Structure 1
Amino acid sequence: MPIIVVDQEKTVAALAARLVKTRTSKAAKERAAQAIREANPGLDLDRLRPGMIVFVPRPPEAREDVPDVVTEALAPLFDQIRTELDALIRTANSALEADTAEREATAEILDAEAVQAAAQNDPLLQYNLERVRQTLADDGQSAVESTESLINGTEQWYTDLDDLSTLW
């Protein structure tokens, strides 16, 4: 339900008149005023003050140019959240690329001629090199899976954010 901040209106009738189209019938204005009263049972709507926050059901006769305070306040927040989710995805992909490059560089060192020559004469070194290679492969697979999981999660977050933004 939209929320509006009282400006200069002193009564619920004046507030209803502000919210409906100019050439709206008196009966429609009264229905709008009654709907506002029903949506705000705890407020003294006969003595409105500037800055009061009022729930406003949207009648069919509502003007399109009346701003909704909640939407105005939350739209930039949702935009910022989307921007941060985009940055999270970019950062995750960059981290995966850097991690992959580091593992590839390490694998190249392990495959260097000097290291291989040393491993031929040392069974323990050979065993350790194989374990490190296996760890690099396992870590590479885990990094890809973690990044994919994060990206899939952000897709759900985008969906949830879109759903959340339609609640009022």
Structure 2
Amino acid sequence: MKRMALLGVLAAGLALVACGDDGGETAIALDENQQIGDLTSQEASQVCDDLEQPMKLSKVDQCDLVGLLISSEKGDCVVTWRKCLTTPGEPLTSSRCNTSEFKWCTATVAEVKACMIAVTEAMKALSCGSDLDLLQSPEECAAVSETCPWLLQDAVGF
């Protein structure tokens, strides 16, 4: 259970990878100290846009995650990882960025951004040799976990 909960938190970041811009709009300057629950819909979308590049994962990183989700056994994970890498196409992305889940969240824009970037870095560090029982939620997610746990639980907000 701990394995799936942790991977759920780590996978939360994956959902933001392609939530970005449809083009044509200019970026909004956000107050990084503003609570994410107080953002307008346009400002909330800007948070997703701002995180699009820092949260991109390579196909190798995504295949590591897929391998770990499929099997905790290193050999089986490597087989899945190789199969994933040889599958034609670009890395998997998600267009989901559920900004409606930001409502009532008192974490700041800066705290949410720092958390999601740390989650991405944690995902990039995974490999088939990773011991998931040793992984912890990134320290940068403490404020988000405390004030808006629903954003990270089961990847609801992201």
The bucket for the TM-score relative to the shorter chain is under 0.3
Structure with more contact order per residue of length (Cα contacts < 8 Å, sep ≥ 6): 2
Normalised by the size of structure 2, how large is the TM-score? Answer: 0.23
Bigger Cα Rg? 1
